[in-house]
Structure 1
Amino acid sequence: MDTDRVFELRRYDAVPGKIDALLDRFRNHAAPLFEKHGMANIGFWVELDEDGKRTETLVYLVAHASREAAQESWASFWDDPEWVAVRTNGEQVTARATSAFLDPAEFSGLR
């Protein structure tokens, strides 16, 4: 396995009532475009509250060959004509987004 890759954990809080629209946007556009632009889709999850009910938050993990590769992938993703059209012509579905880069521990199965 490639031990130099880095992981990026991203969290998107949907506009209230728009989690399904956000999931559709990721399923139909963002996730395939991530792969097209060199990112590896590791997993996508909807966060659960303390009662086990779905929230309005999407959490996902992608992998990059390096931090430099991440920067290049995101730049090409944001400029991709398909994504520009989706973002420009689509409804507002994201209220807030955060991102953190992660380095897997030496015993992680994801190295």
Structure 2
Amino acid sequence: MIYEIRVYEAAEGRADAMRRRFRDHVVTQFFPRHSIELLGVFTAPVEDGRLTYMTRFADEDARKKAWASFAADPAWVAVKAASETDGPLLKNQTVSVLSPAVAGLPLG
């Protein structure tokens, strides 16, 4: 198994719209369709315009295939375009791919 942590930083004034799109479309429609297993979604205790989430994949090949199919999904392209008529929702994103450090060690 490999894990991925993504941190999305919203464009100025767009944090609510970014989170709505993630909640209403990405999590419910596109992650299941593209075999992206969502483990958790997080925000900071003090609003900072970021959304952080963690996913899990069987291996690196599965991760790459899942994200490639997600990005090429015509329905996603349409949702993204419709949600960005007033400009992009994301200012920046950071992606970290992680492997367990010690096999068999529980996560928490």
After superposition, the C-alpha distances for 1:41-85 in whole angstroms (9 at most, x for unaligned) are 00111123xxxx221011100111110000000010001121110
Residue 41 of structure 1 is matched in structure 2 by 38
TM-score (norm 2): 0.87
Distance in 2 (alpha carbons) for counterparts of 1:30 and 1:46: 17
Structure 1, unpaired ranges of 5+: none
Of the candidates 86, 89, 98, which is equivalent to residue 79 of structure 2? 86
Question: Counterpart amino acid of 1:61?
Answer: M
Identify the structure with the greater strand proportion.
1
**Count of aligned positions:** 102
Structure 2, unpaired ranges of 5+: none
Percent of aligned positions that are identical: 32
Matches within 5 A, 1:32-71: 32=28, 33-48=30-45, 53-71=46-64
Aligned-pair Cα RMSD in Å? 1.4
Residue 75 of structure 1 is matched in structure 2 by 68
Of the candidates 2, 16, 26, which is equivalent to residue 20 of structure 1? 16
Distance in 1 (alpha carbons) for counterparts of 2:17 and 2:95: 21
